[in-house]
Copies of this chain bind each other. A is one copy, B any other.
Amino acid sequence: MLINVPESVVPDALRGMAAAHPELTVDVERRVVLRRDAPVAGKVALVSGGGSGHEPLHGGFVGPGMLDAACPGEIFTSPVPDQMVSAAAAVDSGEGVLFVVKNYTGDVLNFDMAAELAEDEGVRVAKVLVEDDVAVTDSTFTAGRRGTGATLFVEKIAGALAAEGAPLERVEAVARQVAGDSRSFGVALSPCSTPDKGGPTFELPPGELEMGVGIHGEPGRERRAMMTSGEIADAALDAILDDLRPDGPVLALVNGMGSTPLVELYGFCAEVHRVLGERRIPVARTLVGNYVTSLDMAGASVTLCRADEELLRLWDAPVRTPGLRWGA
């Protein structure tokens, strides 16, 4: 691994973010990444966070049009309430803060505690839980469904609405709508390796797939012999569309788990579009790339979100972050 020592991976990365992104304030001590211009007067603030190892999620999504702050935990480990409280206090303009929380037990507990503490300090806090992964319920680390790719949709779309000056209740409602209307399914073609362990965190022999894998390598639905890109797209979309019945256009994320080359991801994207075409589901926008990753895991996930005109308008709105940037 390209590291100094396992213990310094997260602070080293934060020092690098500070060096590369002068438009952000990176508090390496407190482990918070902030918009440099926070708090933005009159604007609801968005705060997210979670274990590191999923970059660009979340720190790479801090900036105008998306998050006001992110709290990175250790690799695959929830951040602590202190980070979230400190972030909320730093970004609250008086209009309140929305916590975007992926559904993992540690994250949920810590964001709950942070919300209470922040409210004690006079910050109005709302929360949205992202639980989009249809693969399994009650997996390792999670009661209910896991939060994965839909987090990007929630952060981008609610972030755009907040940027327009919408009040907390409205930003929260749209964030819930996006979370509720999104579904994901992922596959692993290789395990991932954490710096701590120095090697694979689970076993997945070459030539086998984990269907429905979680973003920490949690088990999915089944272990299968290698399938083609087209067969994987069929299976992933079967799983998603068993649960989500879009009656109009969707927003699609074709997401890499980390080490799957972009040339393969685009090929997979072609197969995802083929399946959606066969199902007569129009794809309004497609984002392809490594956005919600699992360190160096090979594989991909698909996330779909039902998208009305208003959601597409917010999706298209300008965003300026290290990981997602357009129109600004």
Contacts and interface: CB of A to CB of B under 8 A. Distances in A.
Interface of A: 1-5, 8-10, 12-20, 52-53, 55-56, 60, 75, 189, 228-230, 232, 254, 258-271, 273, 283, 286-288, 290, 293, 295-296, 298-300, 320, 322, 325-328
A55 B263 contact: yes
Contacts of A322: 288
Contacts of A258: 259, 261
Given A2-B232, A75-B263, A290-B290, A15 B270 contact: yes
Contact of A263 (B4, B269, B295): B295
The oligomer's copy count stands at 2
B56 A16 contact: no
B263 A13 contact: yes
Given A267-B9, A326-B325, A283 B1 contact: no
A270 B295 CA distance: 19
Contacts of A299: 2
Q: What is the predominant secondary structure among interface residues of chain A facing chain B?
A: mixed
B232 A273 contact: no
A271 B75 CA distance: 20
Contact of A56 (B75, B262, B298): B262
Given A3-B229, A4-B267, A296-B298, A55 B20 contact: no
Given A15-B270, A20-B286, 18 more contacts: A2-B298, A3-B228, A3-B229, A3-B264, A3-B267, A4-B229, A8-B267, A9-B264, A12-B267, A13-B266, A15-B273, A16-B268, A20-B266, A20-B273, A55-B262, A55-B263, A75-B263, A262-B293
